[in-house]
Structure 1
Amino acid sequence: MAERAGRSRLTREQLRIWRGFIETSNELRGRLAARLQSESGLSDGDYQVLLALSEAEGRTLRSAELAALIGWERSRLSHHLGRMERRGLVARDAAEDPRGVDVRITPQGAEAFRAGSVPHFRAVRELFVDALTPDQLAQVAELTEALRRQWDGLAAE
């Protein structure tokens, strides 16, 4: 028990590293979202939805599956889909199961996604990939894999 209590305290250095990681991650996400919006007219949320739908079989997902896939609450997704539907990017259809709704990407949504991906990938390269050496990129991959393994282990407990 004492060992566990001692392990729960973070050192100043650990807190400094954690804060730097969070602040840098938030700054990167914000810069990418701003560039995506200004260069394509798509919000970060639009892009997440369109990406998930473009990768789905038949380019369609149940709304509950889509919400889980992108990590959103269903009510948030429903409101966002309404805005996207009014812009012609997605369509919602009654599912075979009357308790659900199918969400599909429209041709206009697919085109907006394709057009938005080019400047988005350019921004990812400029703001992330180009800032790191190949060794540092490999380290980022190792770090993200270690975090996911930790989370999977905690979820299994």
Structure 2
Amino acid sequence: MDKNELNEEEMRIWHMWKGSFQSIFGRVIKEMSEHTGLSEGDYGVLDRLDLLGNGSLRQQELADSMNWDKSRLSHHLTRMEKRRLVMRKPLDTDRGVQVVITPAGKSALDDARPIVSKAIRKHFLDQLTDQDVESITKLAERTKSGSSASCEAPST
């Protein structure tokens, strides 16, 4: 077997890890969406605008923080503008665009945060032992250095 290939046990562990994450993440997003009408992307945009930019960020900074390309973010922001969650305004100094959370967007984010927190606690944190937390923390710290992970949407 090639040293770069995964054996059956390694592949099984990978699929278990990936499946667990997707299942938990999916349940958190489902609860948030059902209660707020926000999508995963909506929450990610609003959360980053609030936490990283104190209410506004350059569009390129926002795209970078979400690990989205400019086109994907631009289309998503257009949909969010129609719902009055954000607005875009050109910067005076250059060709950049500033994305600003609106009062409606801030209100939607404030309404969503406790729902997201409760869902994360219910579907993830309440399932963990102290030893699990220690193991996950060690694993995250060890693997973080090998990736270029940004804060991933929806900050959950």
TM-score higher than 0.5 = yes
Stretches (4+) displaced over 6 A: none
Which amino acid is the alignment partner of residue 102 of structure 2?
Answer: T
Higher relative contact order, structure no. (Cα contacts within 8 Å, ≥ 6 residues apart): 2
1:64-97 deviations in whole A, cap 9, x for unaligned? 1100001111111101101111111111001124
Counterpart check, 1:101 vs 2:91: no
- In structure 2, the residue matched to 1:155 is none
In the alignment, the residues of structure 2 paired with residue 80 and residue 151 of structure 1 have an alpha-carbon distance, to the nearest angstrom, of 26
- In structure 2, the residue matched to 1:8 is 4
Counterpart check, 1:37 vs 2:33: yes
In the alignment, the residues of structure 1 paired with residue 54 and residue 133 of structure 2 have an alpha-carbon distance, to the nearest angstrom, of 33
In the alignment, the residues of structure 1 paired with residue 106 and residue 3 of structure 2 have an alpha-carbon distance, to the nearest angstrom, of 49
Which amino acid is the alignment partner of residue 106 of structure 1?
Answer: T
In the alignment, the residues of structure 1 paired with residue 53 and residue 78 of structure 2 have an alpha-carbon distance, to the nearest angstrom, of 22
Which amino acid is the alignment partner of residue 24 of structure 2?
Answer: L
Please identify, of 122-131 and 29-38, the stretch whose mean Cα deviation from structure 2 is larger: 29-38
In the alignment, the residues of structure 2 paired with residue 85 and residue 139 of structure 1 have an alpha-carbon distance, to the nearest angstrom, of 42
Counterpart check, 1:19 vs 2:15: yes
Aligned partner of residue 52 in structure 1, secondary structure: helix
In the alignment, the residues of structure 1 paired with residue 77 and residue 70 of structure 2 have an alpha-carbon distance, to the nearest angstrom, of 10
Counterpart check, 1:61 vs 2:30: no
- In structure 2, the residue matched to 1:135 is 131
Counterpart check, 1:117 vs 2:88: no
Which amino acid is the alignment partner of residue 48 of structure 1?
Answer: G
In the alignment, the residues of structure 1 paired with residue 144 and residue 84 of structure 2 have an alpha-carbon distance, to the nearest angstrom, of 36
Counterpart check, 1:81 vs 2:77: yes
TM-score (ref. length: structure 1): 0.88
5+ residue gaps, structure 1: 153-157
Task: Tell me the percent identity.
Answer: 36
Task: Report the Cα offset of residue 6 of structure 1.
Answer: 4.6
TM-score (ref. length: structure 2): 0.89
Task: Report the Cα offset of residue 57 of structure 1.
Answer: 3.5
Count, aligned residues = 148
1:123-150 deviations in whole A, cap 9, x for unaligned? 0000000011122012111111111122
In the alignment, the residues of structure 2 paired with residue 89 and residue 64 of structure 1 have an alpha-carbon distance, to the nearest angstrom, of 18
Task: Report the Cα offset of residue 10 of structure 1.
Answer: 1.5
Whichever structure has more helix as a proportion of its residues is 1
